[in-house]
A and B are shown apart, each in its own frame.
Chain A
Amino acid sequence: MMRFEYYEPKSIAEAISFANHLPGKAKWLAGGTELLPKLKQRALMADHIINLKKIPELVGISQNDSAIRIGSLTTLEELATSKLVTRSFPALSEAAYGVATPNIRRAATIGGNLCQAPNCLYFVHRNLWRLPECYGAGGNTCNAIKGARKCTAMSPVDTGPALIVLGAELEIKGSEKKGMSLESFFLSSGVSALHESEIITTIVIPDSPLQSGLAYLKYSRRKTIDYAIVSVGVRLVLEPDRDRCLQARVALGGMGTIPFRASEAEEILTGERITAVIISKAAEVASQTGQPWTDIYASNYYRRHLAGVGVRRAVSLAFTRARAAG
């Protein structure tokens, strides 16, 4: 692995002061399951590594009046098994449980999962293969798709669609405090609204309304150690009569460079009685949104097909769960 200097701040303020004052490139170390392999492969470079694991306030899941607060350094295993999360948002546990392998989930953190680098072999191996610096690395070419005008790598964030439909908000600390919805956090492949000297401190999930149902589905070639080809998150809120849909949120991963909401599909579901016909219509519309690329994992056509199947199944599941809720 490339050499770096190592720092262990004991507080968020100290960590940010390191990031602001160290010369050269500094990177945060959370679980290390993404950063360390990328440093070994020379896909990411760093002169300084700032280990956030010794900052106690970044870890843990708690509940206050109207929200569940998840510290950004909470591991994916804890998220997958926490009673608070499995009881309130089972689909979020399922999403966390779908990431990588048991060993990796024990170390990887939710904050790190949201900040993953582009999942593109040409990005990861560009130095080994002596390719020109690509968009993902700050260059101005794409080695995967000739002629592309921007980075085409799909963002692998598995927990993204589940958190987006839950309306998750991020609390971020840097020189000042700021907050934003997770939806507006992702900007383009591997690029987020987080500046290099900022830290996501907490992921806040507002309580879901009564009679709501959540579903998350991930499609990948293998059950473990694999990124999603397509992932789908759906949350439906039903009218008190439990028949009509009051609010629908549908989020897709793998259908573009970042996870996003399929708002056209949401509009089709909103205000309607949830029937097989409406579900199929929403699925059809959702499958035509986004801009999936053909890469070594799946073709554009197959991604669209999977998104349709996924939305149909996830909406049905969310509807069943919403009817059973409250």
Chain B
Amino acid sequence: MGKQEVFLNVNGQEYRLYVDPHVTLLDVIRDEIGLKGTKRGCDLGECGACTVLIDGRPYNSCLILPMDVQGREILTIEGLVREGKLHPIQQAFIEQGAIQCGFCTPGAVLVAKALLDEDPSPSEEKIKEALSGNLCRCTGYTSIVRAIRSLTG
């Protein structure tokens, strides 16, 4: 059977790609499209470093085959920057020192975006629950939660 033709919409741009069926969305985003902001952590769905937003909701891109997300809007961390300016969530992460080694940051920022789009003033409990699938091995959770709280009303 060989390669499959897939049409992906990543950060508002259409891509027509030929991919092997065993290649995950994460691999396609990093290696075919070349957007390296989406990180490969465990590659097993446990760490959340590979989180992308699909139609506005966070998913682990390492557990998705690209054929399944054709015609849907995929947003990676690179898609948050507008005209060279960081997204307010990214700015808040910097201001609150919520970045240590930075490997979990793209996933955490995207989870925060999905959460704040759905509920502009979530409780601390809800923020923690939303982040519960994103491991930060620097254990900087307190500052990540603080960064998200600094944006709530």
Please tell me if the beta carbons of B45 and A103 are within 8 angstroms of each other in the complex.
yes
- Chain A interface category by residue count: 20 to 34
| Whole-angstrom CA separation of A224 from B48 in the bound complex | 12
Complex interface bits, A28-61 against B, C-beta within 8 A gives 1, otherwise 0:
0101110011011100000001010100000000
Please tell me if the beta carbons of A4 and B48 are within 8 angstroms of each other in the complex.
no
* Nearest 4 Cβ contacts at the A-B interface: A101-B133, A6-B21, A224-B132, A37-B44
The answer to the question of A178 belonging to the interface, with a C-beta cut-off of 8 Å to chain B, is no
Please tell me if the beta carbons of B68 and A49 are within 8 angstroms of each other in the complex.
no
The answer to the question of A100 belonging to the interface, with a C-beta cut-off of 8 Å to chain B, is yes
For the A-B complex with A1-B22, A39-B22, A103-B133 known, give 10 more contacts whose Cβ atoms are closer than 8 Å: A3-B22, A5-B1, A32-B63, A33-B45, A36-B24, A37-B45, A51-B68, A101-B48, A102-B129, A102-B130
Min CB–CB distance A106 → chain B (angstroms): 6
Please tell me if the beta carbons of A106 and B57 are within 8 angstroms of each other in the complex.
yes
Please tell me if the beta carbons of B133 and A100 are within 8 angstroms of each other in the complex.
yes
| Set A3, A5, A51, A104: member contacting B60, Cβ < 8 A | A104
Question: Which chain A residues lie closer than 8 Å to B14 at the CB level?
Answer: none
| Whole-angstrom CA separation of A247 from B144 in the bound complex | 48
In the complex, what residue of chain A is closest to B107 when comparing beta carbons? A103
Please tell me if the beta carbons of A225 and B133 are within 8 angstroms of each other in the complex.
yes
Task: Give me 28 A-to-B residue pairs in the complex whose CB atoms sit less than 8 angstroms apart, sorted by A's number.
Answer: A1-B23, A4-B21, A4-B22, A6-B4, A6-B22, A8-B67, A32-B63, A33-B60, A33-B63, A36-B45, A36-B63, A36-B65, A37-B44, A39-B22, A40-B43, A40-B44, A41-B44, A101-B45, A101-B133, A102-B129, A102-B132, A103-B60, A103-B133, A104-B60, A104-B133, A107-B59, A223-B132, A224-B133
Instruction: Kindly identify, within residues 3 to 27 of chain B, every residue whose CB is under 8 Å from any CB belonging to chain A.
Output: 4, 20-24
Please tell me if the beta carbons of A51 and B65 are within 8 angstroms of each other in the complex.
yes
Question: Which chain A residues lie closer than 8 Å to B106 at the CB level?
Answer: none
Question: Which chain A residues lie closer than 8 Å to B68 at the CB level?
Answer: 32, 51, 53
